Amino acid sequence: MLGSSSALVHAQIKSVRYYAAPDTALRDVELSIMPGEFVVITGPAASGKSTLCYCLTGVIPHSISAEMEGDVLIAGQRLRDLRLPEVAPLLGFVMQAPENQLFNLSVREDVSFGPENLCLPIEDIQQRVMTSLRFTGMAEYLERASDQLSGGEAQRVVLSCLLALGAPLLVLDQPAAELDPEGRRQVYSNLHRLNREGKTIVVVEDRLGDVAGFASRIVLMQAGTVVADEPIREFFARPDLESFGVRVPDTVLLHHYLKERGLNSRIVPLTVEEVVEDLAGMGPSAAEVAIVAPTVSTSASPLIAISHLSFSYPNGTRALDDVSLSCDREECLAIIGENGAGKTTLAKHLIGLLPPSPGTVLLAGKDIAGLSVAQASRLVGYLFQDPDYQIFNGSVFDEVAFGLRARKLPRQEVEEKVMTALRRLKLDRLRGEHPYTLSRGQRQRLALASTWVLQPPILLVDEPSTGLDYREAADLMGLLEEFRAGGGTVVIITHDLELVFEYALRVVVMRNGTVRLDLPTSRVQERFAEVSAAGVHLPQFMHLVDALALPPSTNGVAALGEAVLAGLRR
């Protein structure tokens, strides 16, 4: 008999191979999940996390063609023996690309679809729809067209669809990937609440700080197999965590930093509150830590100058309201804020997709209102949040060569420039491959290469780390830093505040279409309350600095650890 009779989920998978793929996607995976658990599946890119989700939900083999040797049981029923409509009452699945699960004309119709197919009474359907939408904070979007939702809004609606079905098991593949930090916190708080009410939660996530206070277990995958399956505190007690390519919570990094210097915590702390409680009585005092603040250029003629820019969409939504800011040469400027703050609308003005009305946008002294989109592209290279929106050629080489060929460069020069870019982005061995055979991280690098090769003075990057694991994101940011150090200017729109505070020289905080704060990155901690009031949930180490009453100049986990140790020595 496969599986424990008390397990809600039992998977025994010898191998999974996608057709035409040279390697197996999963091998020798055995996993049991008990009712009421909150299990996190983590690991670097291409480790098999999404494929495991497909197997746990019956997507493989019912919807995605793959050779699967093994079985998955849900509540004692073998998934391969069930039709997909029979799977729906057992579990719900949020895919990594939520827009692929929305297909009706409105939010109401999408959320109603599942209960309607369960043939429930109309009163029950209406109650389920409103209850699930209120739970995810999407009730006001009831009549919104599904194709007009942002990525974060789509994720919330898909979660509402699952809640309306009432299934006991939820499997979610990076359900908060496109949300701002506060949105991620809300999603996981809601999932934790569902878990306390009896739902079994299985979630794929590499930002482990988001789930550290909620999860009961961590399943670590590498190269298609499970290499660790442990209770959460045991997992975080490992000394080799950073070698796994996942994001470790700052509380855990602080624990290991202090432990290496002889200070042992009572437990491995998972939350800021646990750190404060653990250090209570030890008396850490405010200790000045020497931090070298990055310098911000203050040239007289900024490369980007935005003055009194406002914009409203045809439906009346006021997206920008009297925005003024500038950016100098060789800056790395991060624009942050909650979903709907106006960040992407601002970016569209910088690349000429939206006309300034009213207001002005100057790029290198040129008014963008007088430039065509093609002319603006010579000044600003734009990397979309989803690289698939800007990839359209039949090979990796042709994708990178497209812009150079459009500029009528000689064939030999095109060849040399393309291969230089591909080697730098670690794509040269894939020059003849079709872009859609590449992984998400490789496609992100390809999109950057096609922009990088044109060498515009400004790179505008929208959510560079979405869909990337920690190593891939750090590598991409390293490339952007190299571009900046070579004389370029980088503007990043992101929710990934850990990367912001590691690479950006300056931070602009937006909310409700306005600029609320504009200051050097090194001074953000000094304005902790104001940034938080703008709806920005700052990185965990900043909450630790605030909770421990350490100097605002304390920047990063190492400086935080030294400040704690210095306080204890006094």
Return the closest-CA partner of residue 210 out of 52, 42, 44. Answer: 42
Closest CA to 554 of 569, 568, 567: 567
Does residue 229 sit in the same domain as residue 352? no
Which of 186, 217, 239 is at the close of a domain? 239
pLDDT score of 300 = 53
Q: Is residue 447 part of a domain?
A: yes
φ, ψ of residue 27 to 5 degrees: the values are -155, 135
Task: Answer yes or no: is 414 within a domain.
Answer: yes
Q: Which of 328, 330, 336, 386 is nearest to 493 (CA)?
A: 336
The domain that holds 233 is classified in CATH as: 3.40.50.300
Contact between 428 and 396 under an 8 Å Cβ cutoff? The reply is: no
pLDDT at 125: 93
Q: Are 62 and 137 in contact (CB under 8 A)?
A: no
| pLDDT one-digit tens code per residue, 385-436 | 788 888 999 999 999 999 999 999 999 999 999 999 999 888 999 999 999 8
The span from the CA of 315 to the CA of 22, in Å, is 49
Domain membership of residue 422 (yes or no) is yes
150 and 24, same structural domain? Answer: yes
Answer whether 192's CB lies under 8 Å from 216's CB. Answer: no
d(CA 104, CA 109): 6
Position 142 scores a pLDDT of 92
Is residue 405 within a helix (H) or strand (E), and if so which, with residue range?
helix 396-406
Provide the pLDDT confidence category of residue 68 given band limits of 50, 70 and 90. Answer: very high
Whether residues 383 and 526 fall in one domain: yes
| Same-domain pairing of 58 and 185 | yes
Domain assignment present for 58:
yes
* Whether residue 42 has pLDDT greater than 50: yes
> How does pLDDT run across 355-394, given as a tens digit for each residue?
877 899 999 999 998 888 888 888 999 998 788 888 999 9
More confident residue, 437 or 425: 425
| pLDDT, greater one: 97 or 566 | 566
* pLDDT at residue number 290: 32
Beta-strand relationship, 38-42 and 217-222:
parallel
Please check whether residue 344 lies inside any domain of the structure.
Answer: yes
Q: How many independent structural domains does the chain possess? A: 2
pLDDT at 536: 81
Tell me the pLDDT of the chain averaged across its residues.
Answer: 86
Residues with Cβ within 8 Å of 540's Cβ and at least 6 positions away in sequence, in order, are 209, 249, 250, 251, 272
Structural domain boundaries enclosing 22: 9-239
Same domain, 208 and 347: no
Q: pLDDT by residue (tens digit) across 246-261?
A: 888 999 999 999 999 8
3 has pLDDT over 60? no
> What's the distance, Cα to Cα, between the start and end of the chain in Å?
62
Is 289 inside a domain boundary? no
pLDDT of residue 334 exceeding 70: yes
State whether 172 and 48 are in the same domain: yes
Amino acid at residue number 77: Q
Contact 217, 51 (CB under 8 A): no
36 domain residue, yes or no: yes
How would residue 291 be classed by pLDDT, with cut points 50, 70 and 90?
A: very low
Residue 377 vs residues 42, 267, 440, 455, 480: alpha-carbon distances, Å: 38, 53, 24, 10, 18
| Residue 474 belongs to some domain of the structure | yes
> Regarding predicted confidence, which is higher, 304 or 478?
304
Full-model pTM: 0.77
